[in-house]
Structure 1
Amino acid sequence: MKIALFGATGATGIHFAQQALEQDHEIVAIIRSPQNIPESLKTNLNFQTVHASIFSPSDLAGHLKNVDAVVSCLGYRGSEAWPLRTMKFYYPSAKAIIQAMKEAKKRRFVAITMWCTEPEPDQSLWSKFLFRLFLGRYQDDMRAMEKYVDTEREHIDFTIVRPPFLNDLPPTDVDFTTCPGRMFVPGCLAYISRADVARYMLCCLRDTTTIGQTIALGM
């Protein structure tokens, strides 16, 4: 499978690319800067990079014409994440990617958001408070992204993965616990490795039962 990968210079994206290449997939990494890409990826014949703006459908469409699927591991770190700032990253980038996919006539899309983009009735008040305090703008922007992607289900075969907090531990072979349609996975740890998230996203590409679903992920 030939996969267009967004966020290939981030930790989750690097894990995804490495695991996909190990399974003999091809990666087209759509990036702004090659500085953070490991040398092992740069020298792999099945890994190529192209430069484009993630907010410009016209920039992106041409790079998607010869791929089988599109994966977004995009993440954001910066001052816009704090509660008094408005974040405009996840929704506008997803909108541009999907518009480019439609122009290129591509359907399969797997992306990542996070747990609790909206509160749930059985979520504790303390959890709701902490998420809102520290991740409120992430929640708003990611939820806008999720809602937009859902409106495009006629044109896009999407899977959105909602993991808990991410860490940098190595991948495991532990089975995943998933809750389609839920904002979190009750009884699971509130953290997961980026490598395991990448492993699950790669599984989703092969699993057609995940199409059209937004899935809370846990272990």
Structure 2
Amino acid sequence: MKVLVVGASGATGRHLVNQLLIQGNEVKVIVRSTQYLPDAWKDNTKVQIITASILELSDEEMGKHVSDCNTVASCLGHNMNWKGIYGTPRRLVTDATKRLCSAIKTSSSNHPVKYVLMNTSGNQNRDLVEPISFAQKCVIGLLRVLLPPHVDNEKAADYLRTVIGQNDKHIEWVAVRPDGLIDENEVTEYEIYPSPIRSAIFNAGKVSRINVGHFMSELINDDKLWNKWKGQMPVIYSKASVSNSEK
């Protein structure tokens, strides 16, 4: 299996690439700079590093990069500083998703390509009834005004839901919604739910970035797991976080 990963240099993207390599996949990564990539990737014949800004690639280049891949995975996000939050591109995740999906559709693949998007538990799946409190609705409304990255995450998932949909012959998708992200060095037990089981704003749980990378890799490699969650927006929590919510 060959997987294209965008956002591979980020904190979660690195874990995803490592998990994919552990499972024996070939991996392409598109990164703006190789400066902070692990040396182990640079010396690994199963890793192809493409140095480019994802939104500056031509349609032809984008098509070339996806044409031999079974899966495209996006761990793109915005840096949590002033430039990352309020600078350009404000629709990095959405625009990259649109362009990658367009490239997949125009490629010569004769089978559906998997698209795995890392999203956020603060974004509702509007294909389901996911009730939230009035207070949380108010906070989400403020986030849409004050934090462009939140809107970017919403629009990227909405593009998959409403434009790609459930029956596209070229693309199957899953949008993974992690709760509060933390750093850990090893994969631990985690649990997956169709919708949040706690408030992402007022009672957020935790999940390690390595667990998110592991789950995304499992989705890519395990067809049974993929068929369970395709076309959905599963929420991931570390098991300890779920246990604490039940106390």
Please give the range of the TM-score, normalised by the shorter of the 2 chains: 0.7 to 0.9
| 8 A Cα contact 2:190 2:211, kept in partner | no
- The equivalences for 1:5-16 within 5 A come to 5-16=5-16
| 8 A Cα contact 2:178 2:207, kept in partner | yes
* Local SS of the residue matching 1:76: coil
Runs of 5+ consecutive residues of structure 1 not aligned to the other structure: none
Runs of 5+ consecutive residues of structure 2 not aligned to the other structure: 239-247
Shift in Å, 1:17: 1.0
Structure 1 residue 117 corresponds to structure 2 residue 123: yes
Q: How far, CA to CA, are the matches of 1:75 and 1:96 in structure 2?
A: 16
Moved more, 93-102 or 148-157: 148-157
TM norm structure 1:
0.86
The corresponding residue for 1:47 is: 47
The corresponding residue for 2:77 is: 75
| 8 A Cα contact 1:108 1:157, kept in partner | yes
* Local SS of the residue matching 2:234: strand
| 8 A Cα contact 1:5 1:28, kept in partner | yes
The corresponding residue for 1:158 is: 173
Q: How far, CA to CA, are the matches of 2:86 and 2:140 in structure 1?
A: 11
- The equivalences for 1:198-209 within 5 A come to 198-205=213-220, 206=222, 207=225, 208-209=227-228
* Correspondent of 1:98 among 98, 101, 108: 101
* Local SS of the residue matching 2:190: coil
Q: How far, CA to CA, are the matches of 1:16 and 1:84 in structure 2?
A: 26
| 8 A Cα contact 1:15 1:194, kept in partner | yes
Q: Which structure has the bigger radius of gyration?
A: 2
Moved more, 2-11 or 187-196: 187-196
| 8 A Cα contact 1:80 1:87, kept in partner | no
Structure 1 residue 60 corresponds to structure 2 residue 62: yes
The Cα offsets for residues 51-81 of structure 1, whole Å up to 9 and x where unpaired, read as 3432243321101111111111112114256
The corresponding residue for 1:141 is: 152
Structure 1 residue 186 corresponds to structure 2 residue 198: yes
Structure 1 residue 214 corresponds to structure 2 residue 233: yes
Moved more, 76-85 or 161-170: 76-85
Shift in Å, 1:118: 4.1
- Aligned CA RMSD, in angstroms, stands at 2.7
Q: How many residues align?
A: 216
Q: How far, CA to CA, are the matches of 2:141 and 2:41 in structure 1?
A: 35
The corresponding residue for 1:174 is: 189
